[in-house]
Amino acid sequence: MSFPPKYSLSSSKLGELLQALFIVLLLCFSNQSLASSEVTKTDETPKTVTAKPEPQNTESEVKDKTQPEKKKDENTSQANTDEIVDDKAEPSVDESESNTDDSELDSSIDETGEGDIEQQEIAEQNDEDIQYEPQPINSEYLTDDSLEKFEQEFYILQDKVASLSRSADDYEELYSRIRPVIADKTAQLYEKVKHKNVDLRLLTQVRNDEEFIELFSRAREIKNFYLLRNKIFAEATDEFRELLTSTKLNGINEAKLEFEYVRLQVLVILKASFQRVIEIPERFQLAPVDIFINLVMIFIAIVVLKKWRVWAKVGLPQWRQKILAVRPRTSGRMKAARAIWYFENTRTPIEWLIFINFILKSIDIVQIPILIEVISTLTLWICLTYFAFSFLSKMIERGKQNVLKNITKKQSASLKVAVWWVGWYKLSFELTDIFIANGTIYSWLETVFLLLLLPVYIFFILQWRSDCFNYIDEERDAPELIKKLITERKGVKGFIFANVALVFVVYFVASKVFLSLISKVESGRRITAEIYRKKLLNDNTELLEKTKSAASLYPDIYKILIDSNNSNVTSVFKGPVDKVMKMLENKERSHIAITGERGIGKTQFLQDLAKQHGKAIILNCTEDFSDILKSTKDQLGLDGDNIKTSEIVKAIKEQEIDLILLDNCHRLLTAEASGQREIRRLYGWINELKGLALWVLTFDSSSWSLLNALGIATGFFSSNIQLKNWSEDQISELFEQRCKEAEIKIDFGQLIIPRQLADIEDDSIESRNKSGIYRIIWGYADGNPAVACRAFADSIIYNEGKLVAKLPISPNGKIIENFDINSLLVLRVLCQFGRCSVNDIVKNLRLHGLVVNSALAACVAQGIVEQVNGRYQITWFWFRTASKYLARQNLLTR
């Protein structure tokens, strides 16, 4: 069943709640008494009429005298009709007794008529006090197709309201005719089910018993009537909904109607459950397999639960001790041991929740869906609430949590009361959804829980406001506006400001938890660094101004930090190195391409390979292939200028070299039209030496994409190993190694770094600031170690005789954004080919030399491009910013 939106009471109705609850109890009691008396009266009257069917004159006389009551007899319930049929089967009495009873019948009919008139007058008087008046029941609405008629009328009205040809107020008139029908049908079915002879057994259902089918169809019809009622509530005006969900007489009547339906459902559940449990032996004789399987499943579930509880009592502590016995005790092991301890002490509700849900989902003997849904809901919220209560109690008992240390008994009580409030809140509304959906009872429950929340919330604020104030005082990232607001801490203002402080604390803790969660992945840490970059600049403005004239690092220290061969993070290349070493073990003699962006560590990768495998040579490529031949001759120890290929083959075999490493092969690919010549010469030379060794060649990512586009690399390489960007931990480890090698100690304490950027357990400012600076640099460099090391070295200065860390400076990306297309094309060529001359760029872009020179001059003036050995290349400072912007403009593949 789909439910309409929740209906809440307005604030003006809250004062009437206690009076309304009293009225509900009174009306429910009086209604039950009235219903009992009416049932008794209805049972007796037909018996008097039907007990004397034989005499002809008596029958006509009774017919004449009971003519005014004909319409009433047509609307009697199905339960009374069944009783009339049973009474007709009784033996008749003699004529004398019949005549005597006829006279008594006349007087009883007269008395009944007078009583009906009096009850009608009382009902009319009561209706005058009610703002909303339901219409009398029309006999045609009690027919079997009344639901379809009302539904058709509702959908027609809905279409007319949507087309603005009718008003939403017309739903009120429609409901005034539906409500009496719902009430009457609910009462009829309740009396029918309440009869002691009603049969709700599963065997009766399987045999398609007519009485059971009738009951089932009636129950389904009433359910659909209440569904239609909810749809009307959803479409009607707000004033109409508020009236029927209020604590006025209208709302009380609607709550009474809903209560009758709930009472009907509970009666059906209880009776059906009892009868279907009692019939299990009979069902077992007819279909023993299913019941036997269910009983076996119950037995297995009980045994498993018992065995688990016995093992958990001893096994969980032993498991925890084994984890703690491992040395060293890392933070991960400590967290695992702590989690096991909490589970060990709070496992009971979780065990019962799993056990009961298994029983409900796997075993269904009574086959009553609503019963399973009710039990499942009760189990879920009671177990979850008890688990939360137990977990919170153990956290307080442990007393070592950052949030709950030094907690008082009243603070502990406020947390526990809040937990139970949430649990009962969810349980009550879930059960209401199951039985009656959203309506008057739902609205009343919502108001009751809001009223109960008020003292809970006040008690919670009073116990925690001093801690919230202290937290803001100690938190350096707290906004100044918040600190100014909480100056008044006593009285009514103090209570109001305590709410503000609590909201800030919740926001701050939630944001920290969220950022720590997303920081578990690389992309999340980049987002964190970007979010707080502007805040960092604003918070550290004073330090930046003070250190503008500070001296930079000494050249030798700077050299170690940006380019050192003695520091190496082995975890970066472990996977690729192992893959190449495995190929060497298998005696493979193929060609491998190692790709990665500029500065990612391709040269370091080849050096690691050479260290692990001694029988290898490293050749560094330049723009001229002849330099490779010269380098090969020198490393093999060959004399002479013109060295033949046969001599190289002989030297490789004699020296047993089976691994040849070529670095920076992309430099052989130049920007001019015939720029493929040198790299094709390299391929031809390698083919002449084929079968002698395993060849490993490195390329920049941008050049590798161009080689694939030109088809030069197709079919030549057996595999391609791409070096990935470094993680934050790997960059941090590299910084620590470089600082240790340079023998420097850096002061990070003068910076102001938000806590959200440092998700470490250490609370010291020095450690948090260091972690925050490392993350900022790593995020800016996007995991490129060459860019990161230069940014790290540039962020260290001499101030007052010691090395101090300042915020790393990043390029102003708006400079490149303002460049024209020609300048961007020049930058693209430099990114693709690395180092290029002016002539190479002119031939590649087919632009005039003056245009290229003008673009290069603008880039050099901004520090974006530098000149090295007569060729131009993008500076390290601008490399990341330029490549990202060109990729966003679809001018470069990343």
Say how far apart CA 257 and CA 548 lie, in whole Å: 79
For residues 716 and 665, is the Cβ–Cβ distance under 8 A? no
Number of Cβ atoms within 10 Å of the Cβ of 406? 7
Q: What phi-psi label fits residue 727: left (phi over 0), alpha (psi between -120 and 50 degrees) or beta?
A: beta
The sheet carrying 719-722 orders its strands as 616-620, 659-663, 694-700, 591-596, 719-722
Number of Cβ atoms within 10 Å of the Cβ of 761? 8
Interval 563-611: pLDDT, tens = 887 777 888 888 899 999 999 998 888 999 999 988 999 999 998 898 8
With a cut of 60, say whether residue 133 has pLDDT above it: no
What are the CB-based long-range contacts (under 8 Å, 24+) for 711-720? 712/669, 712/676, 712/679, 712/680, 712/683, 713/593, 716/591, 716/683, 717/590, 717/591, 717/592, 717/593, 718/588, 718/590, 718/591, 718/592, 719/590, 719/592, 719/593, 720/592, 720/593, 720/594, 720/595
pLDDT for residue 103: 40
Interval 46-97: pLDDT, tens = 333 333 333 333 333 333 433 333 333 333 333 333 333 333 333 433 333 3
| Residue with more model confidence, 894 or 813 | 813
Helix (H) or strand (E) holding 694: strand 694-700
With a cut of 80, say whether residue 648 has pLDDT above it: yes
For residues 501 and 465, is the Cβ–Cβ distance under 8 A? yes
Sequence-ordered alpha helix ranges (H) in 236-330: 238-244, 249-278, 280-286, 288-325
> Residue 836, SS3?
strand
Which of 606, 618, 612 has its CA nearest to residue 582? 612
Interval 20-57: pLDDT, tens = 444 444 444 444 433 443 333 334 333 333 333 333 33
Q: What angle do CA 82, 87, 92 make, to 5 degrees?
A: 155
Interval 369-396: pLDDT, tens = 899 999 999 999 999 999 999 988 888 7
Sign of the C-alpha dihedral computed for residues 159, 163, 166 and 171 taken in this order = positive
| pLDDT band at residue 338 under the 50/70/90 scheme | confident
Q: What angle do CA 763, 768, 770 make, to 5 degrees?
A: 145
pLDDT for residue 523: 64
Residue % of the chain over a pLDDT of 90: 29
pLDDT for residue 261: 94
Number of Cβ atoms within 10 Å of the Cβ of 320? 18
Interval 719-778: pLDDT, tens = 999 998 898 889 999 999 999 998 888 888 777 666 555 555 555 777 777 887 888 888
pLDDT for residue 107: 41
With a cut of 80, say whether residue 621 has pLDDT above it: yes
Q: Using H for helix, E for strand and C for coil, what is the string for 91-133?
A: CCCCHHHHHHHHHHHHHHHHHHHHHHHHHHHHHHHHHHCCCCC
CATH topology of domain 814-888: Arc Repressor Mutant, subunit A (1.10.10)
pLDDT for residue 759: 54
**DSSP 8-state code for residue 615:** S
pLDDT for residue 88: 34
With a cut of 90, say whether residue 355 has pLDDT above it: yes
Average pLDDT, the chain: 78
Taking the domain 570-722, which CATH number applies? Answer: 3.40.50.300
CATH 3.40.50.300 positions along the chain are: 570-722
> Residue 549, SS3?
coil
pTM comes to 0.53
Phi/psi at 875 (5° precision): -65, 155
Residue % of the chain over a pLDDT of 70: 77
pLDDT for residue 284: 87
Interval 653-684: pLDDT, tens = 889 899 999 999 988 888 776 678 888 889 89
Which of 861, 862, 865, 873 has its CA nearest to residue 837? 873
pLDDT for residue 542: 61
| pLDDT band at residue 524 under the 50/70/90 scheme | low
Interval 432-476: pLDDT, tens = 999 988 889 999 999 999 999 999 999 999 888 888 888 888 776
CA dihedral 268, 269, 271, 272 (to 10 degrees): 100
Helix (H) or strand (E) holding 4: none
Say how far apart CA 703 and CA 835 lie, in whole Å: 12
Q: Which residue in this structure is represented by tokens 């925050």?
A: 772
Give 662's contacts (C-beta < 8 A, 6+ positions apart): 618, 619, 621, 628, 682, 695, 696, 697, 698
With a cut of 60, say whether residue 878 has pLDDT above it: yes
Number of Cβ atoms within 10 Å of the Cβ of 495? 15
**DSSP 8-state code for residue 616:** E
CATH 1.10.10.10 positions along the chain are: 814-888
